[in-house]
Chain A
Amino acid sequence: MLNSSDPSATPGGQSATPGGQSATPGGRSATPDDPEKTAVIPAPDATAVLRPAVEDPDKTVALPEPAAAEPTTVAAAAKPPAAVGPTAAKPPAAVKPTAAEPPAATAKPAAAEPTAEETQVIRLPTGTTSRMDTSTKADETQVIRPSVPAADETQIIPAPKPKPQPAADETQVLPAPAAKPKPKPKPSADETQIITAPATSPAVTAIIPVVPGAQEPTATPAETTPAPVKDPARPPRPARRRPPLEFGHAPVVLVMSALGVLMVALAYAGGRIGTGNATIAYWIGQVVVFTPVVVRLLSRRMAGAAESFLLVMGLGLNQYLLKWFYSPEQFRFPDELQHWLGTTIILESGKLFQPNPALPPAVHFPGLAEMGAAVAALTGLPVEAAGIVVAGVARLVFVATLFAVVLRASRSPAVAGVCCAIYATALHYLFFNSSYLYQTAALPFLILTVWSTRRWRSGGGPQFLAVAVASIMVTTVSHHVTAFALVLTLFLLAAVELFLQKPRRWSALVVPGIAVAVVALWIGTVATDVVSYLEAPIDQVAETVRNLVAGTSEASSTTASVSIGQLALQGIGLIGLFVLYLALLRDMLQRSDRDPWRWAAIAGGALFFAGNGVRFLGQNGPEIAGRLSTFTYVPISIVAAIALVRGVQLIPARDADGKRHWRAAAPAIDYVAPGNWNLYSRVAAGSLMITILMIGARAGGWPPIGSILPGPYLAGAFERSVDVYGVSAAYWERDTLGHGNRVGGDITSVSLASTYGRQDPVREVGTLYYATTWSLEDEQLVSDLQIQYLVVDKRLGELLPQDEAYFENDPHAGSITSPLTSTQLGKFDTLPEVDRLYDNGTVRVYRMGNL
């Protein structure tokens, strides 16, 4: 029986099998292959053990052996009123069926037929689990079930002296009755055997550890203990056979998703040639790419971890292709161009830490550039191609690592898959975080650090600590903000663990301490300029907050205005996340949940909602909020995935009198039987919510809605502002002027000049362009900024800026109502001391050297 007060023991939780597989592989029975369903324990003569999937596997609950001698089938519920079994309405009467009752009655009648691979017989002595609690090995401890028909057998030697023990952990073990009948030989039906150890034998308790999702036990060196054999004359077959991969319907779902990619590609092509309905095709394509995968992940009918993983990776690949198809032949986003330059410099010089005028702080965070340079050198591909491959691999590694972390923590492929799908609705997921940026290189290693830390904390060997340290180092040398976020994440996890778990294990602080040391060492000795680099935007936000508190100014933003529809979409999505967050929080509070990882996700989720408030704080607020969400969206995705997959009750069900009891212990995980209307409605609602989140993120993320399709030149539109005219001018600067001249211009001109042109960018030049007549102040500014060349794009006089600004730190940002005039742009030709050295009909380059 399942403990309804504990989500780990709920049917919607985990299977009793490693890997989150159901007890009936292949979905042949009413205990289908949905990994979200708890395994039915049909063996009538055995002690049953259920291994929760959603809960922290670190814990194991052993229930005292009952005095009654009846067979036990399923772990007993601790709180009778709670929902047990396949539906929430199941009465708890099926907790301990008598020997005469079919054991499957506790769960699913249709699953009553025991098969060889379903039967779980585990006899653990009481009194052992309290020790297991303190064991760091407990994470991997799991009851073994042959995951493949006739693959393995389990032999159990019961302990003669059970002891009472506290129910401290979450795996529930009910021992077999004392007068248990001998198991009948079942050559093909049930291969589990219980072997009583001799009383004189110095028995050793050992539990084969298994890894969630692996569907296989861990083998240990033979020298520890020889494996027993049923028949000494028969040599044991190595138990190395992995269960077959089961991808379910994932390939078919991915075909649909790929059709969505094709539709978006058509939309992009339409945008480039100016087709009218390209935008409609784009949005339909986005939904087709995304939603079928989400529906399948939520359907609770997946074949297991392999299907969920394939779905998630397919979605990750398809979404990366959406980003790549936007500009497939070259980098256009300014930040990508900056890192293109950093990589090119390494290739040219063969050295790290060479000056990169386009992005000076990136010099001291060479992780991405090293990857790109190495791949370019090894493959002979151009830097653009190598960068696209590196960013794609990093993106896929990030998704896969996130999946592995959540799978490890939840033991649920569906939770892991849905979490990754929800994270795909983060504001910057689609473009920014999969671009060739140093953050893209660092993010996978942030998650990998969390994964390896968890493995180490839960009893993994020192090699996990080694992986954690290596990941910390890679993160640190790859991206500053991600390194800071990693330190905070590790401390959050450690703090929650120390707060919740007794006795406290101060070793939880080891990895965070190492992270602090590595980050501090790097910033203190190598990347000393990063503090000043990050100081400006933080100061700006802080000043805005101070002004707001003092009432001296209003929070404002000069970024592009947001439409009501866009705000509504994002608002609905945020409200949906908030409701799920509150529902899970309420659920955990009522159950006195003490799982540190879930509480850490709750704390991180709170940071997500707090971070959304930053977007209203000043000019950099939206960008900082968006960047922040890259990290805070991970915990909120986990929270939302648990709530959606587990069907956490948003509103308590009515009792017989029609009343709702908000303070009652609601079923923690409301198991919904497959096929009924409740499930369909939940899947539909969940899919709709996640789809709305995705649409809101695409509309409010990057690229901006006005340039969401590629196409002809737009002013002040980043990717859409890069075209052959600007690139041609940049190459002329490089070839004719040499490197390192001080060049000013609009956002795109400066970006191209500093990267393709290899010039030293001067960004604060807006006032020179807005002036209708040349003044002494302008001349002084040229002198102060040591400007040698100015780039003038005639199209600034024809088009309004898409992002509300022509220049970086534009003095008229947010208030530009008309393009620049021909007088403003043409005044440079009237200055007698100024040369016009370059003209391609659209872009002109002026030499200011005589001023």
Chain B
Amino acid sequence: MNRLLTRAVAGATLVSALLVLFTPRPFAAAGGLLLGFLLPGAALTQALFPVRVLTRIERLVLAPALSLATLVLGGLLLYVCRAPLGRVSWTALTAGVTVLALIATTIPRLRSTGGAAEDVTTTGDIRPARVVAAPQEVPGMAEAHTILMQVVPAENEATVAARDKAQRRKLIRQLLPLVLVVAILGGAGWLSLSTSQSTYDTTVTTLSASPPAPADADGNRTVVLKATGLLDQDAPYKVTVSPVAAGTKASRRITIDANGEWTETVTVPADSRVTVGLYRSGDDSAYRTVSIAATE
């Protein structure tokens, strides 16, 4: 990881942490996804494998894999340390691991800069010397008198730039169909989500009673009745209670609140089985029914 990339990861970590901690959901989601799935693993990968021993694919795999591992093992560590697992602690964990890994990444580089570890290019740029493809000694081959190493010929900068540009254009052309892929998949997702929600979202009209309270001195008990999912087009609703204790109406027209609900506490005799019915406008039989058994 070069300095620019290191700084970019460090900056992204800082920004992500701030987004997670101090911004509303859409921004926090972006920062959280980076901290959860990418940044710790990317930094750890570079800290563990600073030289090119991994392929692009392996680096691509390790970034999310080590990020997930950070969440699992780091979460256990937080638990052992008795730290509560919440937004702050998860943020501190992921950002902290990322920063530590970045620091670990820079240490070998700092060491290597002590000698002729950097390479001055023709343009004057200083590049880490490790990027020069130096030969690697194979154990057991010290006596062999063959050296196989790689060097790179100097190229005209203009040629290189032109070639890079052509390669970028080719890559863009190749990847252009992926825009269509994203559009198709997005459309398919919208279709699935909308149809699933529309078929699921059905208003459910319920009538319920809370578990009855113990009988009082008069042999009565109170029950909280509740109706939900009441629709304006079925109004007015009626609730009947049978039998009822003295002073309690056996039937009443109920008033629906803004949420389409109704709640009332009624007093019923403890020694009788009580039946409560909910009627829509025009119903002859109860639309919903609950019953409370008599106590012994």
Contact = CB atoms under 8 A, between A and B. Distances in A.
Contacts, number: 491
Interface stretch (A76-84, A396-404, A688-696): A396-404
Which of B25, B152, B204 has most A Cβ within 10 Å?
A: B152
A460 B151 CA distance: 24
Contact of B137 (A206, A258, A305): A206
Interface string A635-649: 000000000000000
Contacts of A135: 138-141
A352 B76 contact: yes
A747 B62 CA distance: 40
Interface stretch (A91-99, A249-257, A759-767, A795-803): A249-257
A239 B132 contact: yes
Given A377-B87, A841-B205, A251 B65 contact: no
B89 to A, nearest CB: 8
B153 A474 contact: no
Given A125-B145, A219-B52, A261-B185, A237 B73 contact: no
Contact of B69 (A156, A224, A474): A474
23 contacts: A131-B141, A144-B148, A156-B146, A157-B145, A203-B147, A205-B143, A212-B55, A217-B52, A219-B130, A225-B134, A244-B170, A265-B192, A272-B199, A318-B185, A321-B188, A351-B85, A374-B94, A379-B25, A467-B62, A474-B68, A829-B291, A840-B205, A841-B288
Interface stretch (A5-13, A441-449, A661-669, A773-781): A441-449
B232 interface: no
A366 B52 contact: no
B215 interface: no
A211 B145 contact: no
Contact of B147 (A160, A206, A221, A394): A206
A397 B36 contact: no
A242 B131 CA distance: 11
A262 B188 contact: yes
A213 to B, nearest CB: 5
B207 interface: yes
Interface string B172-189: 001111101100110111
Interface string B63-97: 01110110111011001000011110011001000
Interface string B20-33: 10001100110111
A305 to B, nearest CB: 6
B72 A222 contact: no
Given A214-B56, A470-B69, A378 B151 contact: no
Given A207-B136, A478-B72, A836-B290, A379 B28 contact: yes
Contact of B189 (A321, A366, A737, A839): A321
The 10 closest A-B pairs by CB, nearest first: A378-B32, A131-B140, A205-B144, A379-B32, A206-B135, A159-B145, A350-B84, A222-B129, A239-B133, A214-B55
B36 to A, nearest CB: 5
Interface stretch (B3-11, B110-118, B244-252, B254-262): B110-118
B196 A218 contact: no
Given A135-B140, A400-B60, A474-B69, A239 B206 contact: no
Size category, B interface: 35 or more
Nearest to A143: B148
Interface of B: 20, 24-25, 28-29, 31-33, 35-37, 48-49, 51-58, 60-62, 64-66, 68-69, 71-73, 75-76, 79, 84-87, 90-91, 94, 112, 115-117, 119-122, 127, 129-155, 167, 170-171, 174-178, 180-181, 184-185, 187-189, 191-193, 195-197, 199-202, 204-212, 226, 229, 273, 287-296
Contacts of B292: 835
A400 B61 contact: yes
Contact of B136 (A125, A128, A224, A403): A224
Given A259-B184, A378-B32, A350 B86 contact: yes
A227 B149 contact: yes
Contact of A213 (B31, B55, B64, B121): B55
Size category, A interface: 35 or more
B174 A235 contact: no
